[in-house]
Structure 1
């Protein structure tokens, strides 16, 4: 790694290399001058053969950017990676005077490119002699120069930015320069014992349960409180298992003990309603959940299966169930209670309506109450649904031989 002189050391070493090697390749370049100026001012006051080296861009090196430095950070330690940079240089050639009738500029460029072709890696001694107090030569990666192809469009934009006339040029990339981070390394103390009993790591093949599918009552898109779901998978056992229901709307997941299903490799989970659990009204919220199975085999730590999506549909009551054409006022109750921040809409037929008012009573065993104003309602019979975070109430009665829309969730407008 190297200090903050690394970029300057790279540029100075490159200049010294070109200045020393190019006259040896072409004896007619004994008066060559190598400068480090921006292209628009590089030629001012100079009439000799000239090569200008200009650092026009610095980019991050993707391979080293998040890489810990070998030998500096050990396993279990953390440190800010070195600042890893690629340097883009433009080398521009001029002949003698203004006319350049002998194409000296072409010879200058050819000598420079030949030098970088033969000597693409900067020598450590050259780097140390280029700039006092730099330690670029000590970094773990060598600095290598490679041609950087540029399209006509890229060259045009580049020279337009310089605001000067185009000169014969070539671009090179220097990779990589690693500048030390000044942030301290954090080294943890050695581990004396693994866990309270120093039992080490447990490994057991195929011990964790795996869920493959989730069956809902009547092939519905969602489940309601008071109904059962059936989990199908492998490594399923009701002994010591918990079905874990997780929602972004809940602070804590809900765990329910399953029972063995009717078929092999299945578990049945009952979602208690208010009749079975006095806190069900406030424990759940309508919306989208994920379901996983948590098990703890004897002598092993808890294991969590994969997750499956589940929609918990709201259960609603609607009043009144009759009205006259025009604006209809509806009162809705929702079980379980609606949580803070949930998105709520009423589907009145095919119309989507936002609530006028939403109230959660102080008594947490009571449902949420909502009021809606549905405008411009024509005569007819309308099925009513409540949508909470994308979960729709189920307006279908499955008790008969043939499913039918529930009469208590239809509004007749006359």
Structure 2
């Protein structure tokens, strides 16, 4: 180990290396290598003739942070603790001096080419010998002499030389501090130089157990042993499987889906899970285990409070989504003695209370859902009612425990309002000019204008009118949701929200609405129609003889048979024929069935509500036609979806 001579030994080694290995032109005598700052004289800032010389200037010493707390391997006593050596990096400035005087047009000029020769030769040597070891010896007389200084021999760390690029700013500061003009120079870092500490090493007392924990040692008695250490053999716990047991249940679900606020219990299986204290960490929430054995741990999924641990900081409460869990085994006798298992995960989902789900009629139709974690801090959620998806941005009100969700128009409804136009020719003759009418929905009126040609194909008319109504909506959902269909050569208009009152009034100076038959008297049941859920295609009816029960107003129900159909229009025609053939009463005889969007619209023959039910022996047809069914309600937050058995019956 080097002592205080190590720094000077490095400088002496570099001097010996350069003196021995530098190549010089034949006309150069021996060039000295000096150690120290560049010489200063009053003429230093003036051009003058200078002799040839290489100067080594140690301008900075820094501590090596990587070896700051590291003992030399094999040098320390295993039973001792002491002080690591002082590990240093040395920073040198290699400066070349030397010039010759020449004449340029009678003016003396000092050429520094010789200094550049010297610097290139010195840099070549330091590049070729980047590590100086005990085996490097001199080549010039006296040859065979070790170049490494005696104070650095037999060291664990080698002397390594590295070119250290300096910025122009660093060089400027360096020469300014020396109050010298800038010279041709190169910077090098030499590491690592170690200087052994002279402080005495300490040796710990042997560990033992005192004669008494309470009484001090008696005078003249045996020496008191060192502190007693409790050594506890523990193995790191490992989780091999995760499952969830429902509240008050005994069956463990292999799919690890747990609910907040439902008293579900997380079950971890693995090895070495038991200890003096066992906890389960749910992300950042630590919960004491409710049951522990070496291969199994149970803990309740936490909400606002943890049994035995108190309330949870609201900022730390778990949110729906993937939750990381791990088992933590502690021993209070060992400070900081906690062993954590590997991480596992389970899906935390919202909890929906089936008993409190409520349907609220009105405008708009809505359902009220209560439970836990029904919304999160970010607006990332949806509610699924059957196949209809309502984004959280459309919720009527939102709290983590209660959401109010509008029922989409694509789900069944009763008391639907509609307008049925007159039978139209093809093409529809309108007369040139701007044609207009007023559309009123729920007491709100919007002027609808259309600059149309004198005639228009009948198949294009419904889409054109729907576009004009949507353009005039001004953000009102009732008008934006209004649909216009061509049904049996007649226009069929259904308002957004399905149930608000709708009326068409002639526009000023235009017979547009009258020409389309939109202001003529409407069918008696146009204000009390019933609509099915959206049908992607003609449903495949699974019953051998598909039948449904239909009740209009206070009249006795009738059972109608549904025949096969190739399209929704054909299905509507078949249902209309079956209704008219089922009873001689006007409610059934004058009933009409159309298609609005992808939904069946049933207009009774009288201003009475229509109800559809299953019949004995066939409880599937009415559901497959989505005329009357129960629709599952699921809430999704952060891509985690509830699985509670919750449904809503529609229409109501």
TM-score interval for Structure 1 and Structure 2 normalised by the shorter chain: 0.5 to 0.7
What is the Cα deviation at residue 243 of structure 1? 5.2
**Is the 1:56–1:90 Cα contact (8 Å) retained in structure 2?**
yes
**Alignment CA distance shift 1:227-1:54 (3 Å):** same
Residue in structure 2 matched with residue 373 of structure 1 by the alignment: none
Residue in structure 2 matched with residue 178 of structure 1 by the alignment: 194
Residue in structure 1 matched with residue 327 of structure 2 by the alignment: 292
What is the Cα deviation at residue 104 of structure 1? 3.2
2:155 is the alignment partner of 1:140: yes
Residue in structure 1 matched with residue 342 of structure 2 by the alignment: 306
Match of 2:238 among 210, 214, 231: 210
Aligned residues: 334
What is the Cα deviation at residue 68 of structure 1? 0.7
Residue in structure 2 matched with residue 47 of structure 1 by the alignment: 50
CA shift digits 1:269-291 (9 cap, x unpaired): 252999xx995582766447743
Residue in structure 2 matched with residue 108 of structure 1 by the alignment: 118
Greater C-alpha radius of gyration: 2
2:88 is the alignment partner of 1:85: yes
Residue in structure 1 matched with residue 70 of structure 2 by the alignment: 67
Q: TM-score, normalised to structure 2's length?
A: 0.37
CA shift digits 1:142-170 (9 cap, x unpaired): 663535275xxx56555444454552x44
Residue in structure 1 matched with residue 29 of structure 2 by the alignment: 29
What 5-or-longer segments of structure 2 have no aligned partner? 103-109, 135-144, 176-180, 210-228, 245-252, 332-336, 361-369, 382-392, 402-636
2:273 is the alignment partner of 1:230: no
CA distance in 2, matches of 1:97, 1:295: 80
Q: TM-score, normalised to structure 1's length?
A: 0.52
Note the 1:9-28 alignment, pairs <5 A.
Answer: 9-12=9-12, 14-15=14-15, 18=18, 28=28
Structure 2 residue matching 1:104: 3-state secondary structure: helix
CA distance in 1, matches of 2:35, 2:49: 10
Structure 2 residue matching 1:28: 3-state secondary structure: coil
**Is the 1:67–1:81 Cα contact (8 Å) retained in structure 2?**
yes
**Is the 1:39–1:54 Cα contact (8 Å) retained in structure 2?**
no
CA distance in 1, matches of 2:350, 2:78: 51
CA distance in 1, matches of 2:78, 2:57: 41
CA shift digits 1:131-151 (9 cap, x unpaired): xxxxx447734663535275x
CA shift digits 1:171-197 (9 cap, x unpaired): 44323211334665343234579xxxx
Note the 1:11-410 alignment, pairs <5 A.
Answer: 11-12=11-12, 14-15=14-15, 18=18, 28-30=28-30, 32=32, 34-37=34-37, 44=44, 47-61=50-64, 64-70=67-73, 72-75=75-78, 77-97=80-100, 103-109=113-119, 112-113=122-123, 120-121=132-133, 127=149, 136-137=151-152, 140-141=155-156, 144=159, 146=161, 148=163, 150=165, 154=166, 156=168, 159-162=171-174, 164-165=181-182, 167=184, 169-181=185-197, 185-190=201-206, 210-216=238-244, 220=257, 223-224=260-261, 226-233=263-270, 235=271, 244-246=279-281, 254-258=288-292, 267=296, 269=298, 271=300, 282=310, 286-287=317-318, 290-292=325-327, 305-308=341-344, 381-385=396-400, 398-400=644-646
CA distance in 1, matches of 2:189, 2:256: 63
What 5-or-longer segments of structure 1 have no aligned partner? 129-135, 261-265, 323-331, 336-344, 351-377, 406-414
**Is the 1:291–1:310 Cα contact (8 Å) retained in structure 2?**
no
The structure whose RCO (Cα within 8 Å, separation 6+) is larger is 1
Residue in structure 1 matched with residue 442 of structure 2 by the alignment: none
CA distance in 2, matches of 1:126, 1:181: 22
**Alignment CA distance shift 1:279-1:30 (3 Å):** closer
**Is the 1:259–1:267 Cα contact (8 Å) retained in structure 2?**
yes
